[in-house]
Structure 1
Amino acid sequence: MPEYLTPGVYVEEVSTGARPIEEVGTTTAAFLGLAPDAGARPGEALAVNNWRDFLRIYGGQAGVSTPLSHAVSGFFLNGGRRAWVVNTGPGRGFEEGLRALSAVDEIAMVAAPGETDPAIQDLLLTHCELLGTCFAILDGPAEAADLSRLIRVASLPAGDADGEPGGQRARESERGHGGLYFPHLVVRDPFDSSKLVTVAPSGHVAGMFALNDTRRGVFKAPANMVVRGALGLSQRLTDAEQAVLNPAGVNVIRMFTGRGIVLWGARTLAPSASEWRYVPVRRLFIMVEESIRRGTQWVVFEPNDERLWKSIRRDVGAFLTLLWRNGALQGATPEQAFFVKCDAETNTPDEIAAGRVVIEVGLAPVRPAEFVIFRIGQTSAEMP
């Protein structure tokens, strides 16, 4: 309290409202792979804000297309605005590249374009699971003559699935920190528009994630969207074939008459019975958890008592109420959509003595309408 010595009227400004918790960004992607210029800044994580940035840094003058260049081009073409790129160089330094990306806290999606090796996909999934702040977008093989190989959980080294490299699926991610996309896309070469090439879909998919988040929100499934720049597919699938792939967590890209090429899946690599089986649910929780973590840094070293607990409930509650109003949470009222518990029950004397303040938060996320069912029958006309 200030010390008042002279008689008079004094005005003090005090904060009475909630400290705002802002949503963290979800549209920034990271790509790892061999750049057109293999010697351009290898192992470094560098930000690019458009296709020209990429060409300037990674040797676009060489005119050599790589899976990385196709992915970055597809990302910006489909609505992406900012990406971090790691040139793995000729030595395929993915572990080094992921360590470089770990220092960048704005990244929400990670991909290694064209890499179907289960060992590399495992690196990406493990990276996202350990950080808990990003989602791995994985590429399936260009084609799969036997779909059972594609949906099999990888337990063998690359190339051991009956001699077919990349023929097996990435491992499951128990809490859904990754999704697999199949098949590949036919696009124009960004270095030679007269040339058609077949490319992995992860860059285009990441751009669609970013566009969807900007237009609708991270809680909306990034699916039922036309893939910009796609002129064909490496393999066209039927409804019956997708019926095999979808429950296994393989997100299919389909070609539909009158619509074009459409992303037609929103499953994660979590088990089909898991509460984390949908991409928007997993990414919504990533955003909420990171937003609350960053927005409550002021709590550290504050007196751990009822006044602090009340402030935490107020701040987190205000943030979640805004999410509910924006359509991210189910329920007719905020009470049905979420709860925030921070009181003497969650903060026992033992917890306080240990220097911990415990907040319990529960959310009711909206889930995508994956199967739309119309029940149609016949009825007789009413007699007058």
Structure 2
Amino acid sequence: MPTYFSPGIYVEEVPSGARPIGPVGTSTAAFVGLAPNRTARVNEAVAVNSWSEFLRLYADGDNLESTPLARAVFGFLDNGGTRCWVVNVGEGGQLTGTGGKRGGLQLLEAIDEINILAAPGYHDPVSHEALISTAERLRTMVAICDPPPEVEDISRLTRVATPPRSSGKPAEGTPKPDDDPPGGDRPRQSDFATYYFPWIRVRDPLSGDLVLTPPSGHVAGIWARTDALRGVHKAPANEPVRGAVDLAYRVTRPEHDVLNPKGVNVIRFFAGEGIRLWGARTLAAEASEWRYLNVRRLSIAIEQAIAGGTRWMVFEPNDYTLWRSIRRDIGAFLTRVWRDGALLGRTPEEAFFVKCDEETNPANVRDAGMVVAHIGIAVVKPAEFVVFKLSQWAGGTETETIGG
């Protein structure tokens, strides 16, 4: 209690006890690959915030050969991305370290802000597995897997590839194996990975030539752009691919009907509209609740925000006061998420629930040093299929929208 020595009116500021949970970033990408300057910052994770900064760090010199990594960073920034981390694996480098040393993807594990992961120029089964395993282990990011540059049989994209015994090499400057991996070209099922097809034709930012490049960098930029304009709950699809002038393969509607159920996100050309992303699925199973990309990414963002915003509760007395604080703080955060349009429901009560009481925290749970809260959310899913029924009547044509 403060001590007062003379009569009068005293004003004290009393903390409310509320600790607001703020949103987290969702648009920071990480690219691992071969830089134009093969010897620049090898196996270092470096933050890049502009194209000029990338050139200064990784393309300082004359007669530098462009790489998928360089085109991916340019495509990311050109399509709306603002910040990314870059790891140059160097000539002949691998996506993971060797000899007990951390390298490649492993360098990104200590960087909390990364939400999008890609390895432009690596499209073999071993590289896909390295990307997916990293994303699944960390559970804070979604990996973007690139397809092979040339696909003659479209059905290969729907069959899971079998990794060869030897480790993968970069796409450029590496001899092509005699035989394709048995099975197909599709990465395995995963809730934390996506797969886009085909490669896109762009103007190389270094040489000025028109070249084909993997789509992962441009796709990551579109994710970031959609997050900034609409929010992470909006599916990053039906969006133009800035910088793309053509496609390596123009997918037809019947082919798309085969690819989409298998989780292959197709980049399509539409007359009058240009080149657009036309899919927003993960590589999860068709019946999985995580098959929509925006659902997966929103859930990651909510989990990260709650984890960071409730860290103050660690070592607090595990009693009714703490449980009430958990319900209050998480409830207030999810109410803001609902108001942003990310959760489905006419009221907050329909959109989410937070339960933390003596039922979720019986004596044996408290004795183990744990506090348990059950949180449920109703995530808005994309209208992937919009169906119109047309019928004739005496006055003309009647159109009825029945949803998707």
Conservation of the 8 A alpha-carbon contact between 2:124 and 2:148: no
* Letter paired with 1:192: S
> 1:10 deviation in Å?
4.1
Work out whether 1:188 is the aligned partner of 2:203: yes
Within the candidate set 128, 134, 155, 1:148 is matched to 155
> What is the CA deviation profile of residues 59-85 of structure 1, one whole-angstrom value per residue up to 9, with x for unaligned ones?
243432001001001001101100000
Deviates more, 1:142-151 or 1:212-221: 142-151
* Letter paired with 1:117: D
Supply the distance in 1 between the matched residues of 2:294 and 2:91 (Cα, whole angstroms). Answer: 35
Which residue does the alignment assign to 1:302? 316
Supply the distance in 1 between the matched residues of 2:18 and 2:377 (Cα, whole angstroms). Answer: 20
Deviates more, 1:9-18 or 1:87-96: 9-18
Deviates more, 1:234-243 or 1:155-164: 155-164
Work out whether 1:338 is the aligned partner of 2:352: yes
Supply the distance in 2 between the matched residues of 1:135 and 1:248 (Cα, whole angstroms). Answer: 18
Identity of aligned residues (%): 56
Supply the distance in 1 between the matched residues of 2:133 and 2:330 (Cα, whole angstroms). Answer: 29
Conservation of the 8 A alpha-carbon contact between 2:161 and 2:185: yes
Alignment of 1:237-256 (within 5 A): 237-256=251-270
1:60–1:369 CA distance, 2 compared to 1 (3 A): farther
Supply the distance in 2 between the matched residues of 1:94 and 1:161 (Cα, whole angstroms). Answer: 19
Supply the distance in 1 between the matched residues of 2:43 and 2:127 (Cα, whole angstroms). Answer: 16
Work out whether 1:114 is the aligned partner of 2:121: yes
Work out whether 1:163 is the aligned partner of 2:193: no
Supply the distance in 2 between the matched residues of 1:244 and 1:294 (Cα, whole angstroms). Answer: 41
5+ residue gaps in structure 2?
A: 97-102, 169-175, 397-404
Work out whether 1:98 is the aligned partner of 2:105: yes
Conservation of the 8 A alpha-carbon contact between 2:163 and 2:181: no
Alignment of 1:1-384 (within 5 A): 2=1, 4=3, 6=5, 8=7, 9-16=9-16, 18-62=18-62, 63-95=64-96, 96-157=103-164, 163-164=179-180, 167-173=184-190, 176-193=191-208, 195-380=209-394
> 1:161 deviation in Å?
10
**TM-score, structure 1 normalization:** 0.95
Deviates more, 1:51-60 or 1:276-285: 51-60
Supply the distance in 1 between the matched residues of 2:84 and 2:119 (Cα, whole angstroms). Answer: 13
Conservation of the 8 A alpha-carbon contact between 1:75 and 1:203: yes
Conservation of the 8 A alpha-carbon contact between 1:139 and 1:202: yes
**TM-score, structure 2 normalization:** 0.90
CA RMSD in angstroms, aligned pairs only:
1.9
Supply the distance in 1 between the matched residues of 2:206 and 2:240 (Cα, whole angstroms). Answer: 23
> 1:120 deviation in Å?
0.9
* Letter paired with 2:147: G
5+ residue gaps in structure 1?
A: none
| SS in structure 1 at match of 2:392 | coil
* Letter paired with 2:55: L
Supply the distance in 1 between the matched residues of 2:5 and 2:318 (Cα, whole angstroms). Answer: 35
Conservation of the 8 A alpha-carbon contact between 1:27 and 1:80: yes
> 1:379 deviation in Å?
2.1
1:378–1:138 CA distance, 2 compared to 1 (3 A): same
> 1:191 deviation in Å?
1.1
> 1:116 deviation in Å?
1.1
> 1:162 deviation in Å?
8.9
1:319–1:123 CA distance, 2 compared to 1 (3 A): same
Conservation of the 8 A alpha-carbon contact between 1:55 and 1:61: no
> 1:19 deviation in Å?
1.3
> 1:5 deviation in Å?
6.5
Supply the distance in 1 between the matched residues of 2:218 and 2:286 (Cα, whole angstroms). Answer: 25
Conservation of the 8 A alpha-carbon contact between 2:161 and 2:181: no
> 1:92 deviation in Å?
2.0
Supply the distance in 2 between the matched residues of 1:238 and 1:65 (Cα, whole angstroms). Answer: 31
* Letter paired with 1:56: R
